[in-house]
Amino acid sequence: MTVATTADIEEQAARRLERYRRVTYRSFLFAAVGFLIPGFAGLESAYSDRHAGVWLIAVVLAGLGLLTWYYMRLVRTGLEDGAPLRDIVASGAVAAALSAMILTSPWFSVIPIFWISAVALSPLGRNQIIALCAGTGAFVAAIATVAAGRLFPDGDAPWYAIFPILFAIYTVTCFLVLFVNRYQRRMWELHRETHAARDVLARLAVTEERLRFSRDLHDLLGHSLSLIAVKSELAIRMTRDDPDRAAAEMADVQRAAREALREVRAAVSGYRAVELDAELAGIRAVLEAAGVRCEIGDPPAALPPEVRAVLAWVIREGATNVIKHSEARRCAVALTLYGDPVAGESVVLEMRNDGVRGAETAAGSGLTGLAERVAVLGGEISSGRHGRDGFLLRAAVPLPRAEAADAGEAVPAGRTA
């Protein structure tokens, strides 16, 4: 039977984190298009109104290309640990130079906003944010005030009335853009922190299990091995003087060794035992750690131990297949009792998930092994597509009549994790 290892789960979590990083990065690239379109519109307007010649248009196009490259670099480094200061300063200089084109067309007012939207992704303090937004607002407002007198010479408003209004508009716009982008960056940081916390919890769980195993092993073998060592040493000393006493001591050593072996075997069988309730809790934790929303119904009471063990194996294999062979976002497990006057009662396990990959393939060795386990109890198992992109694993196991009478007519109530 295939088992989902820790490495498999970690690999899937890493892929999911990388996928979210790419989605976040691309969302900023799409936003860049919204900033560049007004820039191209401004070029067309400046050329049509004869405010800019061909050579200036070529220089501005090169500047827009350079600013876009810096934007992509600032976004990428900002989503990691923050952009270096030299990139922020260099890109700011390019944005400031392009902002002078506001004198030819108001469309170029988006250029400094375009730059500040990328700088916002780097770690900034409150005072730095205020200084950045206020400084950018004042710079753009000053250029726009001069441009208002140049582009609209018939206006009656004086510059000292235009400048405060433009300063307030540009500063508030900078704050809004910066707030939205920093919020999106915070969402990315939360995903990174969740990924790191999941890894730490998994390692702590492994460490705790190792400590538990070492404590159990010490408690089981510590006394027995000490007794064997003392008895063996005593038997060696008495071999010549009292052979009968030495033989008796060695007989005690043999009994102690057999008792220790019996205890170890009992402990190992306990570690290997698969319990239904523990398995349900385990797959809930594993699936949710892998990003799969899990719904599990309450198992019927008073099921025979052998039936509970078989159902636990089915659930384990089903969860393994969900993790390794699907892109599921939801998994539902239901355990239901069905009564039949002739055939008697049986318990039916149904495990459904979405996100089936590709075409349906033949059953693997894991499902084949499950079919053999279920067949021993007279049950049967089936699996296959369910709906457009779903998968259903179904196992029906008959109950002994005495156990069926004790179990009653329990019907599971699904509870959402």
280 phi/psi in degrees, rounded to 5: -60, -45
Q: Please, which contacts does 278-281 make with residues 24 or more away whose CB atoms are closer than 8 Å?
A: 278/312, 279/312, 279/315, 279/316, 280/315, 280/333
Question: Among 82-91, 230-239, 260-269, which is the least confidently predicted range?
Answer: 260-269
| Mean pLDDT, the chain, whole residue set | 78
User: What is the pLDDT at residue 60?
Assistant: 84
A 10 A CB-CB count for 147 gives: 21
Q: What pLDDT, in 10s, does the model give residues 362-413?
A: 455 567 778 888 888 888 998 888 877 788 899 999 887 654 445 444 434 3
Q: What is the pLDDT of residue 195?
A: 72
Say yes or no to pLDDT of 10 above 80.
Answer: no
- Full set of structural domains in the chain with CATH: 9-196 (no CATH), 205-272 (1.20.5.1930), 276-416 (3.30.565.10)
Strands laid side by side in the 390-398 sheet: 380-386, 390-398, 346-354, 330-338, 293-297, 414-416
Task: Give the pLDDT confidence of 101-149 residue by residue, as tens digits.
Answer: 888 888 888 888 888 888 888 888 888 888 888 888 898 888 888 888 7
pLDDT at position 362 is 47
